[in-house]
Amino acid sequence: MGYLINSQCVADLSTAKQLHCRSFDSVWGNGTDLVASRCVAQDFTLTDFVVCKQVNAGACSNVTYSYPTFPSCSYDGSLSVASEYFAVVLSVVVIVFAAARLRRYFWGHHEGI
User: Minimal CA–CA distance to 10: which of 77, 94, 95, 65?
Assistant: 77
Return the SS3 of 46.
coil
Distance CA 32, CA 28 (A): 11
% pLDDT > 70, the chain = 89
pLDDT band at 112 (very low <50, low <70, confident <90, very high): low
For the question of whether the overall pTM of this predicted structure is more than 0.75, the answer is no
| Residues β-bridged to residue 33 | 30
Distance CA 40, CA 63 (A): 10
| Displacement of CA 28 from its chain's centroid (Å) | 25
